[in-house]
Structure 1
């Protein structure tokens, strides 16, 4: 894939106006309050595992509307005292997989919570375990258009609520320090991390990696790749639905969550990325309320920096946490 978006110099200053509904904050405050009101304490089951240096817990916590959501919680076996925690969200179509597939954070001394994505887990990887029990109206195959005619029914209302309540669940666990929680994820997981960071107070940082779900109107018109193309194909059939569809999506745009972030961010972008166009990633980063450091991978597509970028994340998070460590 050649360079197809704005020149790099223009990307770094790209700060477009993005539609934002007047009741954005009220919508999310009401959504989260309703689900928190019926949430139950998370249930952890320790698993026998060949991972001798990491304790593995199968987790079930209350997500949107009290729905049970699965996750993995991994902590170093020799941990003592509450640990800084990383909550991670997954890419589009994948599930939580198997615990040994996600060892970097626990092996680095963190408590690590990996959230399953409701209804997903059958497109790649090693599966998921969380159904989405809520039906929707007509939609194109995939998740992008489920309930897209009404923000209250839209699929990502449930996913983003799960993401926030995952942070709540982690903060309630004795092994995790509730004052030192960061969120991260790649692609869809990066978009979810942006949402969580805009909806949760008191995080120490967010690390969205090549984030999806940003600057919807530009993304839908700029790339011919899925998942954004699910929206294009839906609108090619529902020809008069565009105003309604884009109004719904404005409640879920990563740019609008970035405007509300209360913790710093490390954002990665790949300048040849045809799935999450670089201008849409920069749109969120450049609107970030606290400040986002952007790491560019000029000659990569949607894979971004992969293991190289994880090392950048680990160094960045350690630096973010260093003032806290110096005072304790």
Structure 2
């Protein structure tokens, strides 16, 4: 994919106006208060697997509306509480297998890998284990992007973001975790989720936000021909009178509006040839982020971003950040 977006010098200054509903904060305060009224009911079931350097738990907890959300909790064997990375997953993926998630424990961190409800059912490499019992009553395009999109109360990502916020409490509930050193992390969809959670749960220590999806929706659907954003385009191509309603709903979930509320340290990444999550959408969020921030720029990469190179950047970033505590 050739360079197709703004040149880097303009990207570094790209800070578009935000389309923010007047009741954005009230909407999320109400949503999270409803969830908090439910028992979190975390269950950590030991998982037998011959990985002697770590302990592995099959996790479940009550997410939005009490629906059970699954995950893996992998923690290094240590003398005391350790930092924890809460890991959110890219679009269509599930939690996968415990041995997929050993990098953070090898670095001395626990990791809580959170299933994304309704996803991972057809992903052989990263199967999921969590259903989405709640469906929107309106039409939708195939995929998850337009599920319940005609009303913010029904939209799919209201449930996903609520699950993700609750997962931070799950991590803090385990005695092996240092509750003052919980970090949220993810790439693509997972990056968009981490970005939102860091804004909604300002108590987390940091956010690792790689090539984030779910950000600057209006520009994304106008300049990329790739899924998942094209799911919205296909929906609008048939539901022709619903554009205002759709973008109103999306404004409650747009990473720009969460970034404007982000206060914790954040390490972003962006790939300049990324036609799935265009670089201008990433820089738009990064430039709105209010807390201490850094961004790794990968000029010659598409949506894979920095890959393993970015993981090394994250190790170094967190080592310094948490050592300076």
Range into which the TM-score falls when normalised by the shorter chain? over 0.9
Cα distance in 2 for partners of 1:123, 1:183 equals: 26
Report whether the alignment pairs 1:58 with 2:55. no
Contact 1:74 1:106 survives alignment (8 Å): yes
SS for the counterpart of 2:324 is helix
1:98-154 CA-partner distances (Å, limit 9, x unpaired)? 000111001111111000000000343231100000011210000000000000000
1:243-295 CA-partner distances (Å, limit 9, x unpaired)? 00000000001111111112010000000000000000000000001132110
Deviating above 2 A after TM superposition, structure 1's stretches of 4 or more consecutive aligned residues are 122-126
Aligned to 2:215: 214
Report whether the alignment pairs 1:200 with 2:201. yes
SS for the counterpart of 1:51 is coil
Cα distance in 2 for partners of 1:16, 1:80 equals: 48
Contact 2:40 2:170 survives alignment (8 Å): no
Cα distance in 2 for partners of 1:297, 1:181 equals: 27
Aligned to 2:24: 24
Cα distance in 2 for partners of 1:193, 1:201 equals: 12
Could you tell me how far 1:54 is from its partner in structure 2? 1.1
Could you tell me how far 1:201 is from its partner in structure 2? 2.0
Q: TM-score, normalised by structure 1?
A: 0.97
- Gaps of at least 5 residues in structure 1 are none
1:48-99 CA-partner distances (Å, limit 9, x unpaired)? 112111110000011111111001000112x121111100000000000100
Count of aligned pairs? 323
Cα distance in 2 for partners of 1:145, 1:39 equals: 29
Aligned to 1:83: 82
What are the equivalent positions in structure 2 for 1:220-239 lying under 5 Å apart? 220-239=221-240
Report whether the alignment pairs 1:114 with 2:120. no
Q: TM-score, normalised by structure 2?
A: 0.98
Could you tell me how far 1:39 is from its partner in structure 2? 2.5
Cα distance in 1 for partners of 2:115, 2:12 equals: 33
Aligned to 2:162: 161
Could you tell me how far 1:173 is from its partner in structure 2? 1.0
Report whether the alignment pairs 1:11 with 2:7. no
Contact 1:202 1:262 survives alignment (8 Å): no
Aligned to 1:103: 102
Contact 1:204 1:320 survives alignment (8 Å): no
Aligned to 1:43: 43
